[in-house]
A = this chain, B = another copy of it.
Amino acid sequence: AEEAAVRAQAETVRRLKQDKADPDEIAKEVSKLLEMKAQLGTDEGKHKFVLKTPKGTRDFGPKEMAIRERAFKAIISCFKRHGAEVIDTPVFELKETLTGKYGEDSKLIYDLKDQGGELLSLRYDLTVPFARYLAMNKITNIKRYHIAKVYRRDNPAMTRGRYREFYQCDFDIAGQFDPMIPDAECLKIVHEILSDLQLGDFVIKVNDRRILDGMFAVCGVPDSKFRTICSSVDKLDKMPWEEVRSEMVGEKGLSPEAADRIGEYVQLHGGLDLIERLLQDPKLSQNKLAKEGLGDMKLLFEYLTLFGITGKISFDLSLARGLDYYTGVIFEAVLLQQENEHVEEPVSVGSVAGGGRYDGLVGMFDPKGRKVPCVGVSIGIERIFSILEQRLEASEEKVRTTETQVLVASAQKKLLEERLKLISELWDAGIKAEMLYKKNPKLLNQLQYCEDTGIPLVAIVGEQELKDGVVKLRIVATREEVNVRRESLVEEIRIRTSQC
């Protein structure tokens, strides 16, 4: 009876996999299955460990890798177009390097076990390691990118591209420069990458921490509550204003009047016109920080106009960003729901890039507190992967996962040695070549392998061809076959696969 239950559960898992169900659900059913099997206490007991990746992580198989590399290629080529160097840092840092940088999010940091030595944590982002790198090497001037995995003990939502191990693609400009020129370049980069990846319509929301702080001040938020009220504002992309307001007043003890004043500001969004209007705002214009921020925002919009990208930029007073270390401009790019006659206004389906200015972070690491102003952008690549994967699935396009140009095959038995000789010649000439690892494979199986994996050519050796000093080259797509002299084979393969 119990065995029947196990079989039924196995069938459930099989069906879920076949239907490509939610991976979380599959994982749940698999773990249930394994538990049932373990309890059965058969000879399978010795293998009763759970066969899975850690919670919130996943493997990338060849297909996912092909998609991932496509996205990386677009991003890296943009970063290089803007003259960035590249760096890499260790996956873990001294625990104290990360301490005090992430505010409330610090609880999500992965620590390593104390195995007698330094106390270490996995990196939480690439920005803090970058600042540590600058301070440690006394670098005051660099434009670099860094693509690497970061780690957060967050609640994963893998179907929506939210993982505990995920890639960040960061581009940052460090150095003392004239205002808003590097900041404008960061926004240009986001615009280029999102356009290039053809993810659909998007908008880049922009704000400034100084405008936010000035706004809090004129609304009557006490200084000590700036950061925590800022965290509440940050939730406006996921919660309606009413809820955020009640968090401010209820949990955080803000006066209802102050909250209502904030409520009026945070619904504002627009372009140069809004900036001009706020520069005339009787309250904001009296606040030094807000005035500075608005002045820089105006300059930023002038530069973005020269770049021709203001059409996708929205100055949005509700944008706050969670992290503690921002000091100036902040921004976040969100994809809009595909246009649809039934939907009146485009709806945001999630953030795919974000960043901002953090002029104080490097100084936190420098023994003398010397500051290095920085601005940067982080591309949230996992969500982009999800979108590209879904799109590919829908398109039924076949993705090749290898670049093999030719399969070395034989039509008769006892030709393994000849195949080995030929493939070795091809490899040495730089041709991408495969063969089946069988002594006497059937020709049909060899041709089928090409069909399955998308190999465009087959080089067939046979008794007669060997005598004649030729190789039979078969074009898989057309089934055409031509005899090619052995000494011309490499050149012939190159020509026929030159578009690969």
Interface residues on chain A, number (Cβ under 8 Å): 96
Docked Cα-Cα span, A153 to B54, in Å, equals: 21
Judge whether B306 and A49 touch: CB under 8 Å.
no
Residues in B with CB closer than 8 Å to A114 are 113
Known contacts A59-B90, A113-B114, A369-B47; A80/B135 CB under 8 A: no
A240 within 8 A of B: no
Judge whether A54 and B94 touch: CB under 8 Å.
yes
Within 8 A of B (CB), among A85-112: 85-94, 96-97, 110-112
Within 8 A of B (CB), among A37-68: 37, 44, 47, 49-55, 57-62, 65, 68
Judge whether A47 and B85 touch: CB under 8 Å.
no
Within 8 A of B (CB), among A139-154: 143-144, 149, 151, 153
Known contacts A94-B54, A110-B115, A188-B424; A47/B89 CB under 8 A: no
Known contacts A81-B427, A87-B62, A402-B84; A421/B306 CB under 8 A: yes
Min distance, Cβ A312 to any Cβ of chain B, angstroms: 14
Residues in B with CB closer than 8 Å to A431 are 81
Judge whether B62 and A144 touch: CB under 8 Å.
yes
Q: In the complex, identify which listed stretch (A244-252, A280-288, A341-349, A432-440) lies at the interface while the others stay far away.
A: A432-440
A243 within 8 A of B: no
Residues in B with CB closer than 8 Å to A93 are 53-54
Judge whether A402 and B65 touch: CB under 8 Å.
no
Residues in B with CB closer than 8 Å to A55 are 117-118
Residues in B with CB closer than 8 Å to A59 are 87-90, 133, 136-137
Judge whether B44 and A438 touch: CB under 8 Å.
no
Docked Cα-Cα span, A244 to B436, in Å, equals: 43
Closest to A406 in B: B83
Residues in B with CB closer than 8 Å to A416 are 181
A173 within 8 A of B: yes
Contact of A113 (CB < 8 Å), options: B54, B111, B143: B111
Copies of chain A in the complex: 2
A226 within 8 A of B: no
A178 within 8 A of B: yes
Known contacts A65-B85, A112-B110; A173/B90 CB under 8 A: no
Docked Cα-Cα span, A421 to B302, in Å, equals: 11
Residues in B with CB closer than 8 Å to A97 are 49
A132 within 8 A of B: yes
Known contacts A135-B51, A173-B437, A437-B182; A91/B91 CB under 8 A: yes
Judge whether B54 and A92 touch: CB under 8 Å.
yes
Residues in B with CB closer than 8 Å to A420 are 181, 184, 303, 306-307
Judge whether B44 and A367 touch: CB under 8 Å.
yes
A241 within 8 A of B: no
Min distance, Cβ A87 to any Cβ of chain B, angstroms: 6
Residues in B with CB closer than 8 Å to A3 are none
A412 within 8 A of B: no
Residues in B with CB closer than 8 Å to A50 are 94, 96
A311 within 8 A of B: no
Judge whether B88 and A60 touch: CB under 8 Å.
yes
A445 within 8 A of B: no
Min distance, Cβ A95 to any Cβ of chain B, angstroms: 10
A368 within 8 A of B: yes
Known contacts A88-B65, A94-B52; A82/B434 CB under 8 A: yes
Docked Cα-Cα span, A59 to B93, in Å, equals: 11
Docked Cα-Cα span, A220 to B289, in Å, equals: 84
Residues in B with CB closer than 8 Å to A111 are 112-113, 115
A403 within 8 A of B: yes
Judge whether A433 and B81 touch: CB under 8 Å.
yes
Min distance, Cβ A21 to any Cβ of chain B, angstroms: 16
Docked Cα-Cα span, A188 to B115, in Å, equals: 40
Judge whether B427 and A90 touch: CB under 8 Å.
no
Residues in B with CB closer than 8 Å to A308 are 424
A324 within 8 A of B: no
Nearest 5 Cβ contacts at the A-B interface: A177-B437, A62-B85, A83-B434, A57-B90, A111-B113
Where the two chains meet, the residues of A that have a C-beta atom closer than 8 Å to any C-beta of B are 34, 37, 44, 47, 49-55, 57-62, 65, 68-69, 80-94, 96-97, 110-115, 117-118, 120, 122, 132-133, 135-137, 143-144, 149, 151, 153, 165, 173, 175, 177-178, 181-182, 184, 188, 192, 303, 306-308, 364-369, 401-404, 416-417, 420-421, 424, 427-428, 430-434, 437-439
21 contacts between A and B (CB under 8 A): A44-B367, A47-B366, A53-B89, A53-B90, A53-B94, A59-B137, A60-B89, A61-B87, A65-B86, A65-B88, A80-B402, A80-B403, A83-B432, A83-B433, A83-B434, A85-B402, A110-B113, A143-B434, A178-B437, A181-B439, A192-B428
